[in-house]
Structure 1
């Protein structure tokens, strides 16, 4: 079917081909004849619409493919967004696009009108040079960037995939956990199966365990987000039916390789690329291999290194010029090793997130002097938000409360980010933490999100003295087990706060703990209390005096002693 895909749907089908499945929906075959009739319905629908552009968003992959080819045969440029969020719809509406598919509100066509039974249209070849598809990605300025793809770019990439991996997929149905609305899913779940004559499964699989109910040989198009969370007992019988497993959209963690080998019978074929570049390279690592394993270029892709960054040239770039990617690399053997991105785009759960766009949205509301967006480590990487409110904003926070002040800022991100990648952890600080060189490091920002660190506002800071207002939240883990029915904050937690904030405030504080003196605990600190922590550090950084007090009077005080490394108690 490659020639049919490259030329459109040119040429009649034999009766045998008409009955062949182009895919499966709810386990039932959708034949070539049925699918092409749906394409004809969409083509007629789009041809009747004014304008050159149409925005498509579908949950069903077969319907998406039919609408896509219908729009192309109607001479339309298809805008192919990665989501149907309100901000996305507004941006597309401003372009004057016609909407079709599963957009919220229901004011657009969802299913193609079925033409009356009649001979199939005489499909005309598609123009390979036509600006047929527009996908979105995030740019370093924070504004979404529309990337136009000509048909030959898409078809050339499909040809490269078939050349590289086609022999592995003989007799397989293509099924995916990723959305076809992203360029990776569009190529692997729609265009490549159509070009190669492999049936595709219309439904996206929410869980890999669902694949055990599909009684067929499968080619799995997955993402690291799913592959790193395998439930091995629920995958019984699946490995023998998997022809291949693909992973793209983000780095696959090293520790996911062994579970994949055990639960899926093989490690994934990882594909590296982007919306701008198309597919670039691939690798398949054995269990135990690390992230420094080199990548091999896909057929037709040339690469070189310019100032430590990857430069590319390939048919799917749409130009014979060299393209400078935003990734740092080093050569190794015939391939290259990725060393991290050079721009301000991060990937969370395989979704591209522009830090600049988030910053702009938060700063636009006012009340913020500075902000940082650290990536927080863990089983599920997530984005944190560190805000430095203005003096007026602090007054509002004290009046209306932290949650009420943050609410509109969280709402401002809803149109920009899908729910799975929105920041859930926020910190309000009086100033950004800095090291001895005056730099705010990622480690220092991540430390603000340590669950043992309370929410605090710096009230006063001098060279050897600092004072904070601390909200003692009831959910602070220090209350766990102290004591059921009558929670109080343990003294060891209060000492931790003294040292923790001391190190944030006084870069010259010596590293090694050397002892305690004059320790007193006068009153317990219950959940919900508002206390003031005052610290004084001597010039040598060896003595840190602390006092915890509230409107009820003093709670604790003492002196912590520190020494140079290797000189502790």
Structure 2
């Protein structure tokens, strides 16, 4: 069992109190965000009471330098005075499950395949609750929820370093047909309440758990997440996309526009199209690359080398010619149909 202390930093007045988190991401400059202990405690209690319930043992696959791992891999075990297994540091070690205990599993996408392989060990538990965050759950998550019905309950949490947890929904075997997220009680929305039903709006939130950015003396009054949503009720919404080309691969932020820019700069002789993937086998969310390079010798190795600073693409697909629309742009529907 391994524990990693949180990093405390900030101005002189806050140096002994604030906990520092850096935004993840290999495609942009990292930024520092600061949280106070009472914000951490509030979030643990809020999510612990509403989704988790009593636990005896935490199995944590989320590195604690990230907010999700710190909250439920450090703060919750400390506050509840229960033991924790830091599986993120040794993911292939056998899980130390005691028969009959109530287990909380803190999941990122890669954890689900490991859990599926270790399910015979987890079956010793009296109950298992899984919290999933950082990206879309992979197919292995839904498969395990289906197989372990009755013993395993799973919840998705939508949130970020900047906002903390915003909303939640159950993780169910066949996918969430309605796709609706329900906001946590202390989250408020900044939006046009009179907008027509079905109209997409950017998700802008406010509340007492927003983090303080390094260039400000206090948290902002609200935060624009970059997500596009359709509100289905006063406290519920459906995600319909993003206002930019951002996605997360196993918790690491990736701007698809920057992936495209890198490929164009490093491989000008090839034509590459980058598309998002929502069901990558291990990472859940990801991206794929279609490329065409008639007779110029570009190969998969060249593409991977050009993107060595980025998370690996889920798929790289070579086509003799890229299909195009009537205006000459790459035809995304035809590309996906070619898979």
TM-score (norm 2): 0.75
Aligned to 1:57: none
Q: For residues 189 and 135 of structure 2, what CA distance do their matches in structure 1 show?
A: 20
- Residue 286 of structure 1 and its aligned partner are, at CA, apart by 5.4
Aligned to 2:216: none
Please say which structure displays the higher CA radius of gyration.
Answer: 1
- Residue 156 of structure 1 and its aligned partner are, at CA, apart by 0.8
Q: For residues 137 and 236 of structure 1, what CA distance do their matches in structure 2 show?
A: 32
Match of 1:281 among 167, 170, 190: 167
1:136 aligns with 2:23: yes
**Structure whose residues are more often helix by fraction:** 1
- Residue 316 of structure 1 and its aligned partner are, at CA, apart by 2.6
Match of 2:134 among 241, 244, 249: 249
How well do the aligned residues superpose, as a CA RMSD in angstroms? 3.6
The runs of 5 or more residues in structure 2 that have no matched partner are: 193-199, 213-218
Aligned to 2:274: 373
Pick closer, same or farther for the CA change 1:236–1:158 going to 2, 3 Å: same
TM-score (norm 1): 0.48
Q: For residues 285 and 447 of structure 1, what CA distance do their matches in structure 2 show?
A: 28
Pick closer, same or farther for the CA change 1:274–1:323 going to 2, 3 Å: same
Q: For residues 80 and 264 of structure 2, what CA distance do their matches in structure 1 show?
A: 49
Aligned to 2:195: none
1:443 aligns with 2:330: no
Q: For residues 116 and 94 of structure 2, what CA distance do their matches in structure 1 show?
A: 11
Aligned to 2:226: 326
- Residue 149 of structure 1 and its aligned partner are, at CA, apart by 1.9
Report SS of the residue matched to 1:268: strand
Q: For residues 377 and 289 of structure 1, what CA distance do their matches in structure 2 show?
A: 12
- Residue 287 of structure 1 and its aligned partner are, at CA, apart by 5.2
Q: Which has the higher contact order (CA 8 A, sep 6+)?
A: 2
The runs of 5 or more residues in structure 1 that have no matched partner are: 1-24, 26-59, 78-123, 451-569
Aligned positions, number? 315
1:13-412 residue pairs with structure 2 within 5 A?
25=1, 60=2, 62=3, 64-65=4-5, 68=6, 72=8, 76=9, 127-128=16-17, 130=18, 132-138=19-25, 143-152=27-36, 155-166=38-49, 168-204=52-88, 206=91, 210-211=94-95, 213-215=97-99, 216-227=101-112, 231=116, 234-235=119-120, 238=123, 240-252=125-137, 256-257=141-142, 259-260=144-145, 262-263=147-148, 265-284=151-170, 290-305=176-191, 308-317=201-210, 318=212, 319-333=219-233, 334-368=235-269, 370-375=271-276, 380=281, 383-387=287-291, 389=293, 397=296, 401-403=297-299, 407-412=301-306
Report SS of the residue matched to 2:254: strand
Aligned to 2:197: none
Q: For residues 278 and 48 of structure 2, what CA distance do their matches in structure 1 show?
A: 34
Q: Structure 1, residues 364-416: CA drift from partner, whole Å, max 9, x if none? A: 22534643112357662653323455xxxx66x3xxx444xx53442232233
Report SS of the residue matched to 1:315: coil
Report SS of the residue matched to 2:152: coil
Pick closer, same or farther for the CA change 1:316–1:237 going to 2, 3 Å: closer
Pick closer, same or farther for the CA change 1:259–1:365 going to 2, 3 Å: closer
Query: Which piece of structure 1 moves more, 194-203 or 273-282?
Result: 194-203
Q: Structure 1, residues 217-263: CA drift from partner, whole Å, max 9, x if none? A: 32111134444786489436627433522111223368955741542
- Residue 323 of structure 1 and its aligned partner are, at CA, apart by 1.7
Q: For residues 378 and 150 of structure 1, what CA distance do their matches in structure 2 show?
A: 32
